[in-house]
Amino acid sequence: MARSGLIGAALIALALAASVEAQQSSAPRIFNTAKQKLQRGEQIIGGTVTSSDPDIYCAMANSGFDFLWIEMQHSPLTYQEVARMIWACRGAPAMPFIRVPDSTPGDIQKAMDIGGLGIIIPLVDSVEEIRSAVEYTMYPPRGKRSLGNGQYGALYGNDYRQIANDNVVIVAMIESPAGVAIADEIASTPGVDVVFAASTDLGSFSGFRQGQPDYEAMVTTIHDATVGAKRRLGGPLAWRDRKDFTFFQAQPESAFIRLGVEAALKAAPQGTAPIEGAER
């Protein structure tokens, strides 16, 4: 009896182990490292890209950023150009996030089809707008994104359709007093991962400046709504020391080129000349 009991216990243990393994194998594959860090509560930083030059894009993507803020709202970049940039540097550590020109279904779906792993929605000042943006970022049954041509499969694998919803990061930008007024509803919208306090346009639309009580009251409203909804809070890199901010936009590539040149000139080598092509 004792032996049969041991055998039975062993069989139960094996069955439980198999069940756990099956559950783990059915879990979605998360390859978006920026999203993984956000889920762990870590800070992530993205450099801004406005140039269509793939070499500049790759230099930014391999410089230590967690993601790249590909700027399509305030640049002449086209979807074809951005697709080439992402493809040229596929596999780079920095994940491609795209600030779309507008929150239309066409803009969002094209950004996803070319390989965007983060969708940044500008000027959110209505709940309907951010709900629609989430819908067209997500495949059914969670959303209305349709299947179409794109390089996403070649970039991220044949199982992309099954795991895309779990890998995308959706960022809602609050840039005006109208958005601040509904910050609670924006932050609590299912599918929103990050609420971004747009420092410059909050001032532009309100007439207040950073540090003034009315300006800081808007930031506090966004902060409280976002933290209360258990979403991540975003802002400019200069706000890195502000409480609870974990998602940051850094300067564009032109600023880093200037800073890099200044640093390189100060540290210019003397004596033996470096070998061309071996800069890395």
Amino acid at 34: A
Which of the residues 29, 64, 74, 258 is marked catalytic? 74
Span between the terminal Cα atoms of the chain, in Å = 69
What is the SS3 assignment for 134-161? HHHHCCCCCCCCCCCCCCHHHHHCCCHH
Known catalytic residue at 223: no
Q: Hey, what are 207's tokens?
A: 């007439």
Sign of CA dihedral 138, 139, 145, 151: positive
* Cβ-based neighbour number of residue 84 at 10 Å: 16
Chain centroid to Cα 1, Å, comes to 59
Q: Which residues contact 226 (CB under 8 A, 6 or more apart)?
A: 183, 187, 195, 232, 233, 244
Could you count the other beta carbons within 10 Å of the beta carbon of residue 191? Answer: 17
> What are residue 108's phi and psi, to 5 degrees?
-65, -45
Please give the positions annotated as active site.
74
